[in-house]
A = this chain, B = another copy of it.
Amino acid sequence: MTKEDQITSWFASQSNADADAFPIGIGDDMAQVRAGADGTVLITTDMLLDGAHFDLQQCSLEQAAQKAMAASLSDCAAMATVPVCAVAAVGLPEGFGEGELKELHAGLIAARRLYGCELIGGDITKWRHAQGRLAIAVTMLSRPSGYHPPVRRNGAKVGDIICVTGSLGGSIAGKHLDFTPRVDEALALTKAAKINAMMDITDGLSTDLNRICTQSKVGAVVWADCIPVSDAAVDQRGHGPPYGLDAALHDGEDFELLFTLSPQEFEKLPQLTTAPITKIGCVTNSGRMELKNPNGQIKLLTPRGFDHL
């Protein structure tokens, strides 16, 4: 038996995936997954790279793997769907072996306890050059909640209120490695109200709101003094607002929810104990994004968040 088979067997032994939900689990050519009651699954994939999304000189393998899962969980939240399972493919640096894989595994399976999301398969590969660094690709399946259709980016309507959860900016100070994907919050929101458009903020509010506007063919006005600036954003820039505001508008990896809904539906939103909901603006028919300052001045808001290219 190869070392790969040994560790795969160990992974399988650590799984207690329900045989009805997962007729075929870890250790075969493919795993089998039962879809949601409506006969569909949703799928998302994320690749995280050492030196770009995490830095193994500053975090553990377990943290890196947990972040990889959390990034996909955040996509499940972005659609208000229920995480079902994940597969993880890793590209290992030279010298990595069983010990490192078990640390990665510990990070990957944290999602089972927290969100009922099973690890049901994967792939182990290794770089052949000395400079090869860890790459982790997680692909996650979810199912519709049953009480609200998956929330897309393209459904924002003129007159909608724009909301975010939590606070924004300064994620690099620590939150980017240890954030709570808003899975439970998204499900609670969509249980209470009809959400027209939603996504998670990964590349910065300005860039991600622009995605909702573009796909929904609408404009938006954002009220500068309403944006919940995180303490980390203020601290990081060291000058308080407007520097904090700048970070809140454009910093990446907030992993908070950005969503729009009608004023009537807004009234139905529950209080979330885990993250405040803040009204930050409204959807307009202007065809562009605008920022309204406290003095009433309106200026163009351009997407200046993170561009992976």
Contacts and interface: CB of A to CB of B under 8 A. Distances in A.
A139 B45 contact: yes
A203 B43 CA distance: 28
Interface in A77-94: 78-79, 81, 85, 87-91
Interface in A11-29: 23-24, 27-29
- Copies of this chain held together in the complex: 2
A139 B5 contact: no
A126 interface: yes
Contacts of A183: none
A78 B29 CA distance: 6
Interface residues of A, number: 80
A287 interface: no
Interface string A78-113: 110100010111110000011001000000000000
List the 9 closest A-B pairs by CB distance, nearest first: A137-B137, A131-B131, A35-B35, A29-B78, A47-B89, A139-B139, A3-B309, A2-B307, A30-B42
8 contacts: A1-B214, A23-B40, A28-B215, A30-B76, A47-B135, A49-B128, A51-B132, A52-B126
